[in-house]
Amino acid sequence: MTSTYDCLIIGGGPAGLATALALCRALRTCVIFDNGTYRNASTSHMHTVLTWDHHAPHEFRQAAHNELIHGRYKTVAEIVQGNVERVEKQDDYKFTVTSNGTTYHGKTIVFASGVEDSLSSIPGLSDGWGETVFHCLFCHGFEERGSPSAGLLLDNPMVLGHLVEIAGMASKLADKVTIYTNGQDFTTMPNPREGDLLALQTRLERHGFKFDSRPITKIVAHELSIDLVFDGSQTSHRFLSYFPKQTVRNKHLMQPLGVKFLPSGHVETLPMGQATHAPGVFVAGDNCTFLQQVSGAINMGTIAGANVHHHLIRAELP
């Protein structure tokens, strides 16, 4: 007889693991699908999680596995290692997920598989990703305090609405901050928020920020610094802040289910509970927010798990 689980969780990072823990607390059965690809794989330490601050991400995941599988909870059936090949909705409260050629049945589904960073094609940029190139200065900023200088690479239009805050955060960590647009005129960059970019540039320059529009030919990452190489010159900084363009992982599996997406590319959720526009389909983590931290992913996973429980109760008590 085929088992039907209360929830099928796609993604084995903080959001998916937290979803599973919330479901365990409610005596709900689940399966976690983990393909072993983690957004923070290139970084040595994770931050902003109490008691886990400045620990290795893989240590956190292993401890979570032990707690969910080998601890006092008995409702996580397994953690399936491998890619998800297919997701289908058979009927209300009837979903299937196929991984490694095996099909699993569930009443609900949670996508907690995050986003994929689409890094600029500048040679060498990826070498420093997670070590001297940081997407979030809450996640990887404190350790760089007192730096003589920092760079801020700008090629994602979605960042423009938050540029003052990001630049300000960098200035708390470094004496001088330069904003690089890599060959683009800042004032004519595509701006989804339709603000006055010249006024924004003037505002930031008034506070000591510099703008540099020269094309970057390559980046050389070192252990404690990073070099930006131009045609005939180069500049060194302690670190580079860079929030790249992103794509939601497993979007091709979500769309046929009726999941909707925002102009930013993130999943559109209903006002509360991490629910999507597709009944029975929930999301948690980086795939549905611009504010991407481990602690935030854990919070959303907990909320998603709780709302899955409520969703199932409403069906069980019509």
**What's the gap between Cα 83 and its chain centre?**
18
Q: What is the pTM of this model?
A: 0.93
Per-residue pLDDT band for 308 (boundaries 50, 70, 90) equals very high
> Is the model's pLDDT at 258 over the cut of 60?
yes
> In this structure, what token pair is assigned to residue 6?
């209360």
> Is the model's pLDDT at 35 over the cut of 90?
yes
Instruction: Of 36-45, 52-61, 140-149, give the lowest mean pLDDT range.
Output: 36-45
CB 263 within 8 A of CB 173: no
Q: What is the pLDDT of residue 82?
A: 96
CA–CA separation, 95 and 91 (whole Å): 7
Amino acid at 308: V
Residue 160 three-state SS: helix
Q: What is the pLDDT of residue 189?
A: 87
Helix (H) / strand (E) containing 315: helix 294-316
Per-residue pLDDT band for 25 (boundaries 50, 70, 90) equals very high
**pLDDT tens string 216-255:** 999 999 999 999 999 999 999 999 999 999 999 999 999 9
CA–CA separation, 280 and 8 (whole Å): 11
Three-class secondary structure assignment of 168-231: HHHHHHEEEEEEECCCCCHHHCCCCCCCCHHHHHHHHHHCCCEEECCCCCEEEECCCCEEEEEC
> Is the model's pLDDT at 1 over the cut of 60?
no
> Is the model's pLDDT at 161 over the cut of 90?
no
> Is the model's pLDDT at 154 over the cut of 80?
yes
Per-residue pLDDT band for 193 (boundaries 50, 70, 90) equals low
CA–CA separation, 129 and 122 (whole Å): 12
Domain 5-116+246-316 has CATH 3.30.365.10: no
Q: What is the overall mean pLDDT for the chain? A: 95
Of 137, 152, 307, 296, which Cα lies nearest the Cα of 287?
Answer: 296
Radius of gyration for the alpha carbons in the chain, expressed in angstroms and rounded: 21
Q: What is the pLDDT of residue 196?
A: 86
Q: Where are the CATH 3.50.50.60 domain residues in the chain?
A: 5-116+246-316, 120-242
CA–CA separation, 132 and 153 (whole Å): 12
Q: What is the pLDDT of residue 158?
A: 84
Q: Architecture of 120-242 per CATH?
A: 3-Layer(bba) Sandwich (3.50)
Per-residue pLDDT band for 2 (boundaries 50, 70, 90) equals low
Three-class secondary structure assignment of 103-131: EEEECCEEECCCEEEECCCCCCHHHHECC
Q: What is the pLDDT of residue 194?
A: 59
Is pLDDT larger for residue 157 or for residue 99? 99
Phi, psi angles (nearest 5°) of residue 5: -90, 155
For the segment 62-82, the average pLDDT, to the nearest whole number, is: 95
For the segment 2-30, the average pLDDT, to the nearest whole number, is: 96
Phi, psi angles (nearest 5°) of residue 127: -65, -30
Helix (H) / strand (E) containing 166: helix 163-173
Per-residue pLDDT band for 264 (boundaries 50, 70, 90) equals confident
Percentage of the chain modeled with pLDDT above 70: 98
For the segment 66-91, the average pLDDT, to the nearest whole number, is: 95
